[in-house]
Amino acid sequence: MFFAHHIILWFLSFSAKTEPISSQPFLNAAAGVGGVAAAILKSGFNSGNGSTKVCMGRRNSSSNPSPRIPSHHSSSSSSCSGQLLSFSSLFLFFYIFFANSKPFQILAPRIGYLPLLAPLIKPYFSSTLPPGVDTIWFDCNGLPLKWYIPTGVLFDLLCPEPERPWNITVHFRGYPGNVLIPCEGEDSVKWSFINSLKEAAYIMNGNCKNVMNMSQSDQLELWHSVMNGNLEAYQRVSSKLKLATVDDEYASLCLQKSQQSVIETDLPAQAKTGRVPVRLYVLSVSKDFDDLDEIPRVDSWEKISYINRPVEIRKEDKCFTLHDALKILLPELFLDESLMNVKLGGVDLEDAVRNSNEDVTSVKVVEDQGQNVCKQPEACRISSSAKIKLIRIQGIEPKLEIPFSWVANNLLNPDYFLHVCVCVKVAQ
Amino acid sequence: MMDVLHWDGTLSAKDFRIGAFAFAQKWESRNLAFPPWSWLPCPKHPWLAPPKEEGYLSLEKICISRPNEEEDIDQISQIDTGEEETCCSGNEDVLDDATLVQSNHHELHYCDFQIVYSSTFRVPVLYFRAYCSDGRPLPLDEIEKELPACSSKELSKKKWTFITQEEHPYLKRPWYKLHPCGTAEWMKLLFLSDNANPKFEVVLELYLLSWFSVVGQVFGLRISFKISD
């Protein structure tokens, strides 16, 4: 029996809760990216404990509806992703437990990976380590943590009520090879990252040549920039990859409305596929709850569905929202009212699900006094017993009607994947 | 109908299913040395029965040990796995007493194969894991020793780009996979190389068979077929 050395990493996490916006179209938030990011950054660092409420969307002093065309429309993805990274590379404060020893406090980047912390953690406990080879791994309440999932995603998934600090346990022996794939330190994490990047490149560009053809030094620089949270270096190298980002659909729609003509998208050298790399983590609970701390702790990865599937943004006359994206990824949870009626008429439910999978129903856009507003989605339920309770991306809880293109342009991880955590209450 | 000349070498999820069944059928009729592939549904959510139309192909306990350098795998008579196995094996099955034509001074190694559809690359992907007769998993360097010489050379050249180890998308255990990023391109070449302009239905019928004839060679698995059939 080896000692389980507990290192406590304090997770200082802000949780940005969206406040209900009744009169203001949520789309204004897309325009206020800079403002939102700045607000989150400030409040995240100022608050030492407790959750931070951040309003998604600008607070106008007047009650007039905001202008349709955003004053700040960022057509260049780099400035958006710049804000993205400075926002998402916020550090999570960990409290790492290691048997009987004083807990180790550390700030870990959201966009990083746990094994990369080993060089910081090991020296702290080297005196208490028994002789032999160490293979580091972590657990949270007994659940071994998958090391290839970004740190922030693990936190969003496993801590619905954000713990501050996040208490996790580090181990140096007894690697659970039946649950976790082997990790040989930094190299394994790096290759996992590069493979994800290749996959994302394939999804966005239709091929992964740009990643495959990266020079050794570029590859190393990119990896080091991720390891160290060096935004400048990351942007410098990643921009060489020319990974096609998605059109900012809201802005295109606005321009389209005003100019009454079809907008030619500005295509980069590579063809844009319009596909967004998504990794969806679904935690299912059987009992409904009102408070996040009622969600039972995850004790097994069996309770979490992992869906690695690109989402194609459909260019239609209406805004493609986060809700639409979820409908594609989790068709089992969404059934049209009409299909529900069909079901009552005796049609096989499976057929209905299959149909809804293939012809994705779109969210109706309601013209509201000249403004382009995405309709508030119906409650997402397959019946009264299944519904989405929580969605978290980069620690924030976006509203379902947010334009998916905004999410795709601003909430990606450095591997160019959108990692989305969802909590679903299902019938049991 | 899709014009094959403009086809990009990929399959939709629906087409994969059609192609998989066609492949399993052809495999069974042509390869008497091997057991048939099983179609297993993809477990998507713990709270939902797996949808019937999403699945993957599974082939288990294929002996990959090479008795001598020259002999091909298909010369070796197959361990009889008997009834259809569920997807979560990897348990320690007692070794059947079926005969093997080879010397027994080295332990036998087996391999489970799975053909899984990748929604990212829109092509089939070969997953595999190898183990000894007592069920002990084999690491990649041990597996490498069993592969034909050209495969191991390729492996050592660009190890990480060719075979990767990752968590199986459905079985949630460590499996190895052949990286699929070039698949669409060479699949397209396969079908268009001899100036033939086949109909897409024909392409679909033969897609997985052609694909496997290429990837199977990594393991020295040879299957016989002709595109012109």
Q: How far apart are CA B84 and CA B38, in angstroms?
A: 7
pTM of the model: 0.73
Asked if A185 and A179 count as a contact pair (C-beta separation under 8 A), the reply is no
Find the mean pLDDT for residues B20-32: 86
Return the closest-CA partner of residue A284 out of A428, A132, A78.
A428
Q: CB distance B166–A208 less than 8 Å?
A: no
Q: CB distance A305–B161 less than 8 Å?
A: no
Least CB–CB distance from B169: residue in A203, A208, A308: A308
Q: How far apart are CA B187 and CA B193, in angstroms?
A: 10
The per-residue pLDDT for B118 is: 93
The per-residue pLDDT for A116 is: 94
Q: How far apart are CA A63 and CA B91, in angstroms?
A: 66
Least CB–CB distance from A309: residue in B46, B119, B173: B119
User: Most B CBs within 10 Å: which of A198, A279, A423, as the mutation test of the B interface?
Assistant: A198
Our answer to whether residue B42 is catalytic in this structure is no
Q: CB distance B47–A302 less than 8 Å?
A: no
User: Chain B partners of A301 at a C-beta cutoff of 8 Å?
Assistant: 172
Report the mean per-residue pLDDT for chain B: 76
Asked if A402 and A98 count as a contact pair (C-beta separation under 8 A), the reply is no
Asked if A7 and A93 count as a contact pair (C-beta separation under 8 A), the reply is no
| Interface residue A354 vs chain B (CB under 8 A) | yes
- Residue A312 token pair: 């194609």
Helix (H, G, I), strand (E, B) or coil at A198: helix
Find the mean pLDDT for residues B91-120: 66
Indicate the DSSP class of residue A321: B
* Mean pLDDT comparison of A192-201, B128-137, B179-188, highest-scoring range: A192-201
The per-residue pLDDT for B98 is: 46
Task: Compute φ and ψ for A184, nearest 5 degrees.
Answer: -105, 50
Q: Closest residue of A to B45, CA-based?
A: A305
Q: CB distance A282–B48 less than 8 Å?
A: no
Q: Closest residue of B to A351, CA-based?
A: B51
Q: CB distance B181–A202 less than 8 Å?
A: yes
pLDDT tens digits for B186-208?
888 888 876 677 788 888 888 99
Q: What is the ipTM of this complex?
A: 0.76
Write down the H helix ranges in A126-215: 151-158, 186-205, 209-212
pLDDT tens digits for B56-105?
999 999 888 866 544 444 444 344 343 333 333 334 344 444 444 444 44
Tell me the count of A-B CB pairs closer than 8 A.
Answer: 63
Least CB–CB distance from B53: residue in A302, A308, A354: A354
Helix (H, G, I), strand (E, B) or coil at A171: strand
| Interface residue A202 vs chain B (CB under 8 A) | yes
| Interface residue A75 vs chain B (CB under 8 A) | no
Q: Closest residue of A to B183, CA-based?
A: A207
Q: Which residues pair with B110 in a beta bridge?
A: B63, B131
The per-residue pLDDT for A152 is: 93
Chain B residues with CB within 8 Å of chain A CB = 44-48, 51-53, 119-121, 160-161, 164-167, 169, 172-174, 179, 181
Asked if B26 and B225 count as a contact pair (C-beta separation under 8 A), the reply is yes
| Interface residue A331 vs chain B (CB under 8 A) | no
pLDDT tens digits for A259-308?
544 444 444 444 456 899 999 999 988 888 888 888 888 989 988 999 99
| Residue type at position A142 | G
The helix (H) or strand (E) run that includes residue A423 is strand A418-425
pLDDT tens digits for A191-216?
999 999 999 999 998 888 889 889 99
Return the closest-CA partner of residue A147 out of A113, A184, A117.
A113
Our measurement of the distance from residue A391's CA atom to the centroid of its chain's CA atoms, rounded to an integer in Å, reads: 9
Q: How far apart are CA A294 and CA A301, in angstroms?
A: 19
Write down the H helix ranges in chain B: 13-30, 140-146, 149-157, 159-162, 183-192, 200-215
Helix (H, G, I), strand (E, B) or coil at A213: coil
| Interface residue A287 vs chain B (CB under 8 A) | no
